Chains A and B, each alone.
Chain A
Amino acid sequence: MAQTSSRGISRRGFLKLAGAAGAAAAIGGGVTGPRPAQAAGGIKPGFESKFSVCDMCFNKCSLIARVQDGVIQKLDPNPKFLKSRGMLCAKGNAGVEQVYGADRLKYPLLRVGERGEGKFKRISWDQALDLMAANFKQIGDQYTRCGFMFMAGSDMQSTFVHRFAEAYGSYNTLSHESMCLIAGTRAFLDTFGEVPIPDMLYTKYVVMAGANRFESLVTPDSMDLMSAMKNGAKLVVLDPRYTKTAAKADEWFAIKPRTDMAFMLAVAHVLITENLYDKKFVADKTYGIEQLAKHVEPYTPQWAAGQCDIPAEDIQRIARELAAAAPAAMVYPGRRSSNYTDSTQIRRSYAIVNALLGNWDRPGGLTAARVVGLGGGIPFEAPFYESNPEDRIDAGKAKLMFPEEGSFKLARDAVLDGKPYPVKGFFVYHTNPMQTAANRSKTVAMLDSMEFVACMDIHMSDTAWMADLVLPSQTYLERQDPCSAQQGSSACACVVMRDPVVAPLYESKPVFWVMQQVAARLGLGKYFDFTVEQFRDKQLAELPGAMDALRRDGVYYNPSKLYGVYEGKIYKTKSHKIELYNSRYAEMGIEPMPVYTPPKPGGHARMRMVVGRNAVITQSSSQNNALLAKFQPTNHLWIHPDRAQELDVKDGDWVWVKSKAGKQRIQAKVTHETRPDTVYMATGFGVLSPGLANIYGKGACIAEVLGDEFDQITGNMAMHETWVRVGKEAA
């Protein structure tokens, strides 16, 4: 870790340094942006207020930065931002530490020791860009352009990484989504023809299975669900853990993991056999009710009770209550669905119950995406490279993979196999697969197999730690970004954008600039022959007044239609109706309706490991934040008291937790808040990089323990298929 640590600088000294840098740039006119607090005149507050957009998770909440002498003093919510209902969460408030944290990467670093050994030397940006260009050329020439793989996280500049990849000629682009939500996306797309946005504010009844919306925040869902509950809505949570959402719910059932589909099929059984479904809606707008009725006939509540550990009378009652509240009732679609090998089919069962309730396109149900009107930016015509292979490296390994997202799991396997062709270069931006992808040993092996890995981040993540070239990124508060469209059902359809609120610290740069510079070196400069302002102007071309609204309010709203969007229109499915029975699946050899497979028994000695979030952790990007680390300094293994007693484990004892993928040591949290057959630990600890000084040496890495099964339809990582053994560590 030579030359990268700033631990020798005190926080006070660091802020002084940061302040000086900010002030110098401000004097030079380097920082521009709106100043809403000063617009009213009168008493000046002694600080500037500037709009930005949070980047502590994927929600992109509008915020106001209070800046004094070029230094951010505080981040406040933007009260005019309806999608978050004027809220900025704990993570959002801590965003200031992303800028001033002592572990910021400061200049480009080149690996000089073994991979993962942590020996780097400082190099100039010119050297770094020349090195990147040389490797893009060499690897492209030797292995074809598809021999270089790209991975970009959920970021407002990731579009430029994808643009570069396309201009350079690689199809092998990955995102974080195949570790998160693509099974759910596939399921709802293949049922309704698009991915719905739940209208939480006006709902009267929610069944939430496999989601934790009061800790793992999604705007406006989290806030609107709370408001709906104040107005009398009922929340039923199915979760093997007693999450904060379970604690706030009207009813919580500690469902047996991997049996959610059984519950949903039994609900469908009750809705159909008791004639409780919306018959007019189903007759007019859906396809396959006869097949579905026959299909769910054997899936009785009594049968499901034996699978789910939820009493039959409760399943029956919940189905009846859902029907009584419909159409302002829903099975919440959820977000992360990277759970099981049949997660798409599990989420299809959620979608089918929603269709039976007739809640689509109606208040309190599931709404379609509203018109935002944001354009795609500056179009381009990427070259075609005849020498390239026909398709992605992971193509054909999951029947309905999304070609723009790919599958990290299947791409990693293909890289390790070297088939169907070698991939030897990897560029990673704003994401950290070393912590987010199950089976960390395989990720290490994949990175080891590469001839060149470049990683761009704000700190020395574990992925950066394994890279050959590490590039310091600007934080979101230092950057000028393109506009971003946001969907919030009844809250809004809106646009947000970012301008820098302070001058960038150190030698940090935006990835747009990096892509532009490398493209120029490769003779691809014409694909980046524009500024971010010009890109935004093109995005906003059909929204007159939008830029004025963004500068004035920090957000632009499109008052587009919310309900009844589909009146007179076809559904974007094969039958052009909502597909209870999926005819495309039938043609492709996929079960056209969800068929339940009971979980394989793990044996008493083993427990199922599950993944989850809390309100101060999004992913590994926020763990090393000094402010948030005070709330969650480490992680623990949640284990039920009955199992702890069998293993002679007491609260706080050190235990080992072991799976086929790997082994970690961690302290036990003995708690009734998980089922006896289920253990849990938070993501993002047990890091390898000492560059993450706030969390290095703390906790255990769940990615090391999780096995890498995958959803057969999409290639989504299946993170709840891992059985672990737990034992007390010898004294």
Chain B
Amino acid sequence: MFKRLMVMLLIVSFIGASLGLALASGDKGNSRKGKYLYRKNCRVCHVENGKAKELSPISKTQAQWKTTFEARDKLACKAEWAKMSDKDINDIYAYLWGHAKDSPSPAKCK
């Protein structure tokens, strides 16, 4: 039991560390894939007159996107995030972080 717990802890910490590393610098994900995934999964609700607040990459600074992603288990849509692969999450992050309002290439349109 103790061994299984240790293995699980190791896996969790490894995933957390790798994702944390990636989140520190959004250019490790595929921003173009992230744009597609964001539109497909997030913009369904985060749209003008949608179920959730309208969002685009320029809605937040890079630091705010980092904070948001690190605490995504506290978001109203945490169940949706839980279904997503780490790669997809990282790709969406690369898109939003990479085109944030204080990024070198802020997104031009919503």
Interface residues of A (CB under 8 A from B): 171, 189-190, 193, 375-376, 379, 381-384, 388, 390-391, 400, 402-404, 570, 572-574, 576, 584
A570–B102 contact, CB under 8 A?
Answer: yes
B61 within 8 Å of A (CB atoms): yes
Interface residues of B (CB under 8 A from A): 30, 32-33, 36-37, 39-40, 43, 47, 61, 101-102, 104-106, 108-110
CA distance A375 to B43 in the complex (A): 16
B102–A376 contact, CB under 8 A?
Answer: no
Residues on B with C-beta less than 8 A from A574 are 102
A572–B36 contact, CB under 8 A?
Answer: no
Say which residue of A171, A376, A402 sits within 8 Å of B109 (CB atoms).
A376
**Can you spell out 29 A-B residue pairs with CB atoms less than 8 angstroms apart?**
A189-B104, A190-B104, A193-B102, A375-B110, A376-B110, A379-B43, A379-B47, A379-B110, A381-B36, A381-B39, A381-B40, A382-B36, A383-B36, A384-B32, A384-B33, A388-B32, A390-B30, A391-B32, A400-B104, A404-B105, A404-B108, A570-B61, A572-B102, A572-B106, A573-B102, A574-B102, A576-B61, A576-B102, A584-B104
Shortest Cβ distance from B109 into A: residue: A376
B60 to chain A, nearest CB (A): 11
A572–B105 contact, CB under 8 A?
Answer: no
User: Closest 6 A-B residue pairs measured CB to CB?
Assistant: A384-B36, A376-B109, A381-B39, A572-B102, A572-B101, A400-B104
CA distance A190 to B103 in the complex (A): 9
A171–B110 contact, CB under 8 A?
Answer: no
Q: A384-B33, A573-B102 are in contact. List 16 more A-B contacts (CB 8 A).
A: A171-B32, A190-B104, A193-B102, A375-B110, A381-B36, A382-B36, A383-B36, A384-B32, A390-B30, A391-B32, A400-B104, A570-B102, A572-B101, A576-B61, A576-B102, A584-B104
Shortest Cβ distance from A542 into B: residue: B48
CA distance A525 to B74 in the complex (A): 40
CA distance A381 to B43 in the complex (A): 9
Shortest Cβ distance from B58 into A: residue: A572
CA distance A359 to B30 in the complex (A): 39
B31 to chain A, nearest CB (A): 8
A48 to chain B, nearest CB (A): 35
Residues on B with C-beta less than 8 A from A189 are 104
Q: Is the interface of B mostly helix, strand, loop or mixed?
A: loop
CA distance A172 to B104 in the complex (A): 19
Residues on B with C-beta less than 8 A from A171 are 32
CA distance A190 to B33 in the complex (A): 26
Residues on B with C-beta less than 8 A from A376 are 109-110
A276 to chain B, nearest CB (A): 30
Residues on A with C-beta less than 8 A from B61 are 570, 576
CA distance A600 to B37 in the complex (A): 49
Residues on A with C-beta less than 8 A from B47 are 379
Residues on A with C-beta less than 8 A from B40 are 381
Shortest Cβ distance from B47 into A: residue: A379
B110 to chain A, nearest CB (A): 6
Residues on B with C-beta less than 8 A from A391 are 32
Say which residue of B33, B36, B105 sits within 8 Å of A402 (CB atoms).
B105
CA distance A124 to B70 in the complex (A): 57
Residue in B30, B43, B101, B102 with the greatest tally of chain A CB atoms within 10 Å: B102
* Known A400-B104, A403-B105, A573-B102: A390·B110 in contact at CB below 8 Å: no
B50 to chain A, nearest CB (A): 11
Residue in B39, B102, B104 with the greatest tally of chain A CB atoms within 10 Å: B104
CA distance A125 to B42 in the complex (A): 40
Shortest Cβ distance from B104 into A: residue: A400
Shortest Cβ distance from B106 into A: residue: A572
Residues on B with C-beta less than 8 A from A382 are 36, 39
Residues on A with C-beta less than 8 A from B36 are 381-384
Shortest Cβ distance from B63 into A: residue: A576
Residue in A189, A381, A570 with the greatest tally of chain B CB atoms within 10 Å: A381
CA distance A189 to B105 in the complex (A): 9
CA distance A404 to B108 in the complex (A): 9
CA distance A375 to B109 in the complex (A): 8
B30 to chain A, nearest CB (A): 6
Residues on A with C-beta less than 8 A from B105 are 400, 402-404
CA distance A252 to B36 in the complex (A): 52
CA distance A534 to B106 in the complex (A): 27
Shortest Cβ distance from B56 into A: residue: A376
CA distance A573 to B33 in the complex (A): 25
CA distance A402 to B106 in the complex (A): 9
Residue in B36, B37, B47, B110 with the greatest tally of chain A CB atoms within 10 Å: B36
Residue in A383, A384, A573 with the greatest tally of chain B CB atoms within 10 Å: A384
A150 to chain B, nearest CB (A): 15
Residues on B with C-beta less than 8 A from A402 are 105
CA distance A573 to B102 in the complex (A): 5
Residues on A with C-beta less than 8 A from B102 are 193, 570, 572-574, 576
Residues on A with C-beta less than 8 A from B33 are 384
CA distance A382 to B43 in the complex (A): 13
CA distance A403 to B27 in the complex (A): 13
B51 to chain A, nearest CB (A): 16
CA distance A572 to B62 in the complex (A): 10
Residues on A with C-beta less than 8 A from B101 are 572
B43 to chain A, nearest CB (A): 7
CA distance A376 to B43 in the complex (A): 15
CA distance A382 to B102 in the complex (A): 25
A384 to chain B, nearest CB (A): 4
CA distance A576 to B104 in the complex (A): 12
